[in-house]
Structure 1
Protein backbone atom coordinates (compact mmCIF):
# COMPACT_ATOMS: atom_id res chain seq x y z
CA UNK A 1 0.00 0.00 0.00
CA UNK A 2 1.47 3.36 -1.01
CA UNK A 3 1.73 6.09 1.61
CA UNK A 4 -0.92 8.16 -0.17
CA UNK A 5 -3.26 5.17 -0.29
CA UNK A 6 -2.68 4.51 3.42
CA UNK A 7 -3.30 8.17 4.22
CA UNK A 8 -6.55 8.11 2.24
CA UNK A 9 -7.74 5.01 4.15
CA UNK A 10 -6.89 6.56 7.51
CA UNK A 11 -8.55 9.89 6.68
CA UNK A 12 -11.67 8.17 5.31
CA UNK A 13 -11.98 6.08 8.47
CA UNK A 14 -11.39 9.15 10.65
CA UNK A 15 -14.16 10.98 8.81
CA UNK A 16 -16.56 8.02 8.92
CA UNK A 17 -16.06 7.69 12.68
CA UNK A 18 -16.31 11.49 13.14
CA UNK A 19 -13.10 11.46 15.20
CA UNK A 20 -10.89 14.54 15.47
CA UNK A 21 -7.10 14.70 15.53
CA UNK A 22 -7.54 15.88 19.13
CA UNK A 23 -9.52 12.73 19.97
CA UNK A 24 -6.85 10.53 18.43
CA UNK A 25 -4.10 12.50 20.17
CA UNK A 26 -5.79 11.96 23.53
CA UNK A 27 -6.16 8.24 22.78
CA UNK A 28 -2.47 7.89 21.91
CA UNK A 29 -1.14 10.34 24.49
CA UNK A 30 0.31 12.47 21.66
CA UNK A 31 -0.26 15.95 20.28
CA UNK A 32 -2.85 16.27 17.50
CA UNK A 33 -0.23 17.65 15.10
CA UNK A 34 1.95 14.57 15.65
CA UNK A 35 -1.07 12.32 15.00
CA UNK A 36 -1.78 14.21 11.77
CA UNK A 37 1.89 13.77 10.79
CA UNK A 38 1.53 10.03 11.44
CA UNK A 39 -1.58 9.81 9.28
CA UNK A 40 0.12 11.75 6.48
CA UNK A 41 3.10 9.39 6.58
CA UNK A 42 5.53 11.82 8.18
CA UNK A 43 6.00 10.00 11.51
CA UNK A 44 6.14 6.40 12.71
CA UNK A 45 4.12 4.91 15.54
CA UNK A 46 5.12 2.38 18.15
CA UNK A 47 3.34 -0.96 17.74
CA UNK A 48 1.05 -0.06 20.67
CA UNK A 49 0.20 3.37 19.19
CA UNK A 50 -0.46 1.87 15.77
CA UNK A 51 -2.71 -0.82 17.22
CA UNK A 52 -4.71 1.71 19.25
CA UNK A 53 -5.14 3.90 16.16
CA UNK A 54 -6.37 1.17 13.83
CA UNK A 55 -8.75 -0.15 16.49
CA UNK A 56 -10.17 3.33 17.10
CA UNK A 57 -10.73 3.71 13.35
CA UNK A 58 -12.03 0.12 12.88
CA UNK A 59 -9.33 -0.67 10.33
CA UNK A 60 -7.60 -4.01 9.70
CA UNK A 61 -4.70 -4.84 12.02
CA UNK A 62 -2.27 -5.19 9.09
CA UNK A 63 -2.47 -1.42 8.63
CA UNK A 64 -0.88 -1.05 12.07
CA UNK A 65 2.32 -2.66 10.75
CA UNK A 66 2.59 0.01 8.04
CA UNK A 67 2.25 2.78 10.62
CA UNK A 68 5.35 1.52 12.44
CA UNK A 69 7.63 1.77 9.39
CA UNK A 70 10.20 4.55 9.20
CA UNK A 71 8.71 7.27 6.99
CA UNK A 72 10.15 9.03 3.99
CA UNK A 73 9.86 12.55 5.39
CA UNK A 74 9.11 15.63 3.35
CA UNK A 75 5.89 15.12 1.43
CA UNK A 76 5.89 18.30 -0.62
CA UNK A 77 7.23 18.36 -4.14
CA UNK A 78 10.33 20.58 -4.63
CA UNK A 79 8.24 23.32 -6.23
CA UNK A 80 6.27 26.22 -4.85
CA UNK A 81 3.16 24.71 -3.21
CA UNK A 82 -0.18 25.66 -4.74
CA UNK A 83 -2.49 24.85 -1.84
CA UNK A 84 -3.37 28.30 -0.43
CA UNK A 85 -2.75 27.45 3.22
CA UNK A 86 0.53 25.62 2.58
CA UNK A 87 1.62 28.36 0.19
CA UNK A 88 1.23 30.90 3.01
CA UNK A 89 3.85 29.02 5.05
CA UNK A 90 6.15 29.18 2.04
CA UNK A 91 5.37 32.90 1.73
CA UNK A 92 6.04 33.43 5.45
CA UNK A 93 9.48 31.84 5.05
CA UNK A 94 10.16 33.92 1.92
CA UNK A 95 9.36 37.14 3.81
CA UNK A 96 10.48 36.32 7.36
CA UNK A 97 13.00 33.49 6.88
CA UNK A 98 16.11 35.67 6.78
CA UNK A 99 14.88 37.98 9.60
CA UNK A 100 14.12 34.94 11.79
CA UNK A 101 17.54 33.49 10.98
CA UNK A 102 19.21 36.78 11.93
CA UNK A 103 17.34 37.03 15.23
CA UNK A 104 18.04 33.38 16.11
CA UNK A 105 21.74 33.82 15.34
CA UNK A 106 21.89 37.01 17.37
CA UNK A 107 20.21 35.31 20.34
CA UNK A 108 21.82 31.84 20.17
CA UNK A 109 24.85 32.04 17.87
CA UNK A 110 25.58 30.24 14.62
CA UNK A 111 23.34 27.17 14.38
CA UNK A 112 19.92 25.83 13.55
CA UNK A 113 16.62 24.97 15.18
CA UNK A 114 16.15 21.22 15.18
CA UNK A 115 13.16 19.75 13.34
CA UNK A 116 13.94 16.42 15.05
CA UNK A 117 13.92 17.57 18.69
CA UNK A 118 10.86 19.66 17.88
CA UNK A 119 7.25 20.33 18.82
CA UNK A 120 4.57 22.40 17.15
CA UNK A 121 1.21 23.49 18.57
CA UNK A 122 -1.75 25.00 16.77
CA UNK A 123 -4.03 27.22 18.81
CA UNK A 124 -7.15 29.22 18.04
CA UNK A 125 -7.17 32.82 19.24
CA UNK A 126 -10.58 34.44 19.42
CA UNK A 127 -10.55 37.94 17.95
CA UNK A 128 -13.57 40.21 17.34
CA UNK A 129 -12.16 41.02 13.88
CA UNK A 130 -11.87 37.33 12.98
CA UNK A 131 -10.34 34.31 14.66
CA UNK A 132 -6.59 33.97 14.42
CA UNK A 133 -4.33 30.94 13.99
CA UNK A 134 -1.46 30.77 16.46
CA UNK A 135 1.34 28.34 15.67
CA UNK A 136 4.04 27.79 18.27
CA UNK A 137 7.17 25.95 17.12
CA UNK A 138 9.82 24.83 19.58
CA UNK A 139 13.01 23.18 18.43
CA UNK A 140 16.27 22.50 20.22
CA UNK A 141 19.05 24.87 19.20
CA UNK A 142 21.93 23.02 17.59
CA UNK A 143 25.15 25.05 17.21
CA UNK A 144 27.33 24.36 14.19
CA UNK A 145 30.35 22.31 15.19
CA UNK A 146 33.85 23.63 14.62
CA UNK A 147 36.62 21.12 13.99
Structure 2
Protein backbone atom coordinates (compact mmCIF):
# COMPACT_ATOMS: atom_id res chain seq x y z
CA UNK A 1 0.00 0.00 0.00
CA UNK A 2 1.43 3.34 -1.18
CA UNK A 3 4.79 1.72 -2.03
CA UNK A 4 5.27 3.84 -5.18
CA UNK A 5 4.27 6.97 -3.33
CA UNK A 6 6.67 6.27 -0.46
CA UNK A 7 9.50 5.64 -2.94
CA UNK A 8 8.72 8.95 -4.65
CA UNK A 9 8.72 10.79 -1.32
CA UNK A 10 12.05 9.21 -0.33
CA UNK A 11 13.60 10.16 -3.67
CA UNK A 12 12.47 13.77 -3.38
CA UNK A 13 13.25 14.59 0.25
CA UNK A 14 16.42 16.22 -1.07
CA UNK A 15 14.28 18.93 -2.74
CA UNK A 16 12.41 20.13 0.39
CA UNK A 17 13.16 23.81 -0.28
CA UNK A 18 12.00 23.79 -3.91
CA UNK A 19 8.97 25.96 -4.54
CA UNK A 20 6.78 27.31 -7.32
CA UNK A 21 4.36 29.95 -6.08
CA UNK A 22 2.31 29.61 -9.29
CA UNK A 23 1.55 26.03 -8.22
CA UNK A 24 1.31 26.28 -4.43
CA UNK A 25 1.99 28.62 -1.50
CA UNK A 26 3.69 25.68 0.21
CA UNK A 27 7.07 24.43 -0.92
CA UNK A 28 7.77 20.79 -1.78
CA UNK A 29 8.71 20.03 1.82
CA UNK A 30 5.37 21.39 3.05
CA UNK A 31 3.47 18.90 0.89
CA UNK A 32 5.66 15.93 1.85
CA UNK A 33 5.56 16.77 5.55
CA UNK A 34 1.79 17.34 5.52
CA UNK A 35 1.08 14.10 3.64
CA UNK A 36 3.09 12.08 6.13
CA UNK A 37 1.58 13.88 9.12
CA UNK A 38 -1.89 12.98 7.82
CA UNK A 39 -1.00 9.29 7.48
CA UNK A 40 0.50 9.18 10.97
CA UNK A 41 -2.33 11.17 12.53
CA UNK A 42 -4.98 8.98 10.88
CA UNK A 43 -3.12 5.92 12.17
CA UNK A 44 -3.35 7.23 15.74
CA UNK A 45 -7.05 7.92 15.24
CA UNK A 46 -8.02 4.56 13.69
CA UNK A 47 -5.87 2.64 16.20
CA UNK A 48 -7.97 4.03 19.07
CA UNK A 49 -11.33 3.37 17.39
CA UNK A 50 -13.66 0.60 18.54
CA UNK A 51 -15.22 -1.47 15.73
CA UNK A 52 -18.52 -1.69 17.65
CA UNK A 53 -18.80 2.12 17.43
CA UNK A 54 -18.60 2.18 13.62
CA UNK A 55 -21.83 3.27 11.95
CA UNK A 56 -22.09 2.84 8.19
CA UNK A 57 -23.62 6.01 6.79
CA UNK A 58 -24.12 7.33 3.26
CA UNK A 59 -22.02 10.42 2.49
CA UNK A 60 -22.45 12.01 -0.94
CA UNK A 61 -19.23 14.05 -0.78
CA UNK A 62 -17.25 10.91 0.10
CA UNK A 63 -18.93 8.93 -2.69
CA UNK A 64 -18.16 11.61 -5.28
CA UNK A 65 -14.57 12.11 -4.12
CA UNK A 66 -13.78 8.40 -3.91
CA UNK A 67 -15.45 7.73 -7.29
CA UNK A 68 -13.65 10.59 -9.03
CA UNK A 69 -10.41 9.59 -7.31
CA UNK A 70 -9.23 13.10 -6.52
CA UNK A 71 -9.73 16.18 -4.37
CA UNK A 72 -10.24 19.69 -5.73
CA UNK A 73 -7.33 21.99 -4.92
CA UNK A 74 -7.49 24.66 -2.27
CA UNK A 75 -11.01 23.89 -1.07
CA UNK A 76 -10.32 22.37 2.35
CA UNK A 77 -8.30 23.79 5.24
CA UNK A 78 -6.09 21.28 7.04
CA UNK A 79 -6.47 20.80 10.80
CA UNK A 80 -3.62 22.38 12.80
CA UNK A 81 -2.32 19.00 14.00
CA UNK A 82 -1.31 18.04 10.45
CA UNK A 83 0.18 21.37 9.39
CA UNK A 84 3.95 21.40 8.85
CA UNK A 85 6.21 23.49 11.08
CA UNK A 86 7.78 26.76 9.85
CA UNK A 87 11.09 24.99 9.27
CA UNK A 88 10.90 21.52 7.76
CA UNK A 89 13.96 19.40 8.46
CA UNK A 90 15.09 16.55 6.23
CA UNK A 91 15.55 14.26 9.26
CA UNK A 92 12.00 14.96 10.44
CA UNK A 93 10.53 14.06 7.04
CA UNK A 94 12.68 10.91 6.88
CA UNK A 95 11.51 9.89 10.37
CA UNK A 96 7.87 10.56 9.50
CA UNK A 97 8.27 8.52 6.32
CA UNK A 98 9.59 5.52 8.27
CA UNK A 99 6.74 5.88 10.74
CA UNK A 100 4.13 6.16 7.93
CA UNK A 101 5.39 2.99 6.23
CA UNK A 102 5.20 1.09 9.52
CA UNK A 103 1.81 2.55 10.45
CA UNK A 104 0.18 1.66 7.13
CA UNK A 105 1.36 -1.94 7.51
CA UNK A 106 -0.23 -2.04 10.96
CA UNK A 107 -3.51 -0.54 9.67
CA UNK A 108 -3.74 -3.41 7.16
CA UNK A 109 -4.12 -5.80 10.11
CA UNK A 110 -6.88 -3.84 11.85
CA UNK A 111 -10.50 -4.96 12.10
CA UNK A 112 -12.59 -4.04 9.02
CA UNK A 113 -14.78 -1.76 11.16
CA UNK A 114 -12.05 0.16 12.89
CA UNK A 115 -12.52 3.67 11.63
CA UNK A 116 -11.19 7.17 11.21
CA UNK A 117 -13.56 10.13 11.47
CA UNK A 118 -12.91 12.70 8.76
CA UNK A 119 -14.35 16.22 9.20
CA UNK A 120 -16.19 16.06 5.83
CA UNK A 121 -16.39 12.36 4.95
CA UNK A 122 -17.39 11.32 8.50
CA UNK A 123 -16.63 7.73 9.62
CA UNK A 124 -14.36 5.84 7.24
CA UNK A 125 -13.91 2.13 7.92
CA UNK A 126 -10.50 0.51 7.42
CA UNK A 127 -10.93 0.01 3.66
CA UNK A 128 -12.23 3.56 3.18
CA UNK A 129 -9.47 4.98 5.39
CA UNK A 130 -6.80 3.30 3.27
CA UNK A 131 -8.51 4.65 0.12
CA UNK A 132 -8.62 8.15 1.64
CA UNK A 133 -4.92 8.01 2.54
CA UNK A 134 -4.06 7.01 -1.03
CA UNK A 135 -6.19 9.78 -2.54
CA UNK A 136 -4.87 12.39 -0.11
CA UNK A 137 -1.23 11.42 -0.58
CA UNK A 138 -1.56 11.39 -4.37
CA UNK A 139 -3.31 14.77 -4.30
CA UNK A 140 -0.22 16.28 -2.67
CA UNK A 141 2.26 14.31 -4.78
CA UNK A 142 0.63 15.72 -7.95
CA UNK A 143 1.36 19.18 -6.57
CA UNK A 144 4.93 18.11 -5.73
CA UNK A 145 5.41 16.89 -9.33
CA UNK A 146 4.21 20.25 -10.64
CA UNK A 147 6.62 22.06 -8.31
CA UNK A 148 9.46 19.88 -9.65
CA UNK A 149 8.75 20.81 -13.30
Bin of the TM-score, shorter chain as denominator length: under 0.3
Which structure: greater helix fraction?
Answer: 2
TM-score of the pair, normalised by structure 1: 0.23
Rg larger in structure: 1
Q: TM-score, normalised by structure 2?
A: 0.23
Q: Which has the higher contact order (CA 8 A, sep 6+)?
A: 2
- Structure that is richer in strand per residue: 1
